[in-house]
């Protein structure tokens, strides 16, 4: 029987690439996302490479729904060995531009969502005596990004949650690691660029933020997750690994 990996945000971008990569590596994938059409597309892509994936449509901010979907996954797919929290949203705003509703939404998706999936999944991992949790944070969890106040706060919170889970559960066989990508070319970035007054100039500016002069690919982030989830990553725990083409080195 294959090990089970749960991937949130698997309908798009980094989540889709991660689900596909882990399926190629032999995991059976349980995918959580709000977007059922996107999940169906990811399931098709995984099927095409001979992998196994089950979609679960869920709002990750809803504690009851996350609890019941996690129990359903445990019964119908199996207890997860790996949980990858990828789902997230952005908000382009300073503190002064951020409404209460926007702040609460960003925190709910980017920080409460991972808290809920971890709280629901940890008991299943503890029963097995092992498990790896990878949280996709951001360089915004490491440094301040201009005009991204709530986003940076949510991702710094996720890095803190990662460390706390590692400290509390390392001796019970659990590893918890954060990955902090720089700009990664996904549907999310595509939307930002297509809404810019000059999409070509905006694209060049986004690429130039990385020392490498290009954006990362979702597959590069997925490769890091695969390393962390597998036996070669077993000495990494409680860390926040930056994957940003040198963006934060300058």
Ligand X SMILES: NC(=O)c1ccc[n+]([C@@H]2O[C@H](COP(=O)([O-])OP(=O)(O)OC[C@H]3O[C@@H](n4cnc5c(N)ncnc54)[C@H](O)[C@@H]3O)[C@@H](O)[C@H]2O)c1
Could you list the residues that contact ligand X (CB under 6 A)?
9, 11-15, 33-35, 38, 59-61, 86-89, 109, 136, 138, 181, 183-184, 186-189
Task: Kindly state the smallest distance separating residue 38's Cβ from ligand X, in Å.
Answer: 5
Residue 127 Cβ, how far from ligand X at the closest point, in Å?
25
Does the annotation mark 151 as catalytic? yes
Q: Which is nearer to ligand X, 184 or 229 (CB)?
A: 184
Least distance from ligand X to the Cβ atom of residue 221, Å: 7
Q: Of 67 and 126, which has the nearer Cβ to ligand X?
A: 67
Q: Which is nearer to ligand X, 126 or 192 (CB)?
A: 192
The least distance separating ligand X from the CB of residue 35, rounded to whole angstroms, comes to 4
30 alpha carbon, distance to own chain's centre: 14
- Order of strands across the sheet with 52-57? 52-57, 28-33, 4-8, 80-85, 131-136, 174-181, 240-243
Residue spans of beta strands (DSSP E) within 50-209: 52-57, 80-85, 131-136, 174-181
Whole-number Å distance between alpha carbons of 250 and 246? 7
Q: Which is nearer to ligand X, 2 or 41 (CB)?
A: 41
**Contact partners, residue 5, CB within 8 Å, separation at least 6:** 19, 22, 27, 28, 29, 30, 80, 81, 82, 83, 84, 229
**Cα–Cα distance, 192 to 126 (Å, whole number):** 40
Give whichever of 126 and 196 is closer to ligand X, judged by the CB atom.
196
- Nearest distance from residue 6's CB to ligand X, in Å? 12
Let me know if 143 is exposed, middle or buried by CB neighbors in 10 A (0-12, 13-18, 19+).
middle
One of 151, 161, 178, 243 is an active-site residue; which one? 151
Asked if 110 and 155 count as a contact pair (C-beta separation under 8 A), the reply is yes
Active site residues: 151
């Amino acid at each position: 029987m294959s090990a089970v990996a749960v991937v949130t945000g698997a309908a798009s971008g980094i989540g889709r690439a991660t689900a596909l990569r882990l399926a190629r590596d032999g995991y059976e994938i349980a995918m959580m996302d709000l977007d059922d059409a996107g999940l169906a597309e990811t399931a098709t892509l995984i099927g095409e490479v001979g992998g196994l994936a089950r979609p679960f449509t869920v709002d990750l901010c809803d504690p009851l729904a996350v609890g019941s979907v996690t129990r359903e996954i445990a019964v119908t797919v199996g207890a997860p060995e790996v949980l990858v929290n990828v789902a997230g949203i952005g908000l382009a705003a300073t503190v002064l531009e951020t409404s209460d509703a926007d702040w609460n939404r960003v925190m709910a998706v980017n920080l409460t969502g991972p808290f809920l999936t971890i709280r629901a999944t940890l008991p299943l991992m503890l029963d097995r005596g092992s498990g790896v949790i990878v949280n996709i944070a951001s360089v915004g969890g490491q440094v301040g990004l201009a005009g991204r106040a709530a986003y940076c706060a949510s991702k710094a919170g996720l890095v803190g949650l990662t460390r706390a889970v590692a400290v509390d559960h390392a001796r019970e066989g659990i590893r918890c690691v954060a990955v902090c990508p720089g700009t990664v070319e996904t549907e999310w970035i595509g939307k930002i660029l297509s809404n810019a007054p000059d999409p070509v100039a905006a694209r060049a500016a986004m690429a130039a933020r990385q020392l490498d002069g290009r954006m990362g690919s979702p597959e590069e982030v997925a490769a890091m997750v695969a390393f962390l989830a597998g036996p070669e990553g077993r000495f990494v725990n409680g860390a926040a690994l930056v994957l940003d083409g040198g963006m934060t080195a300058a």
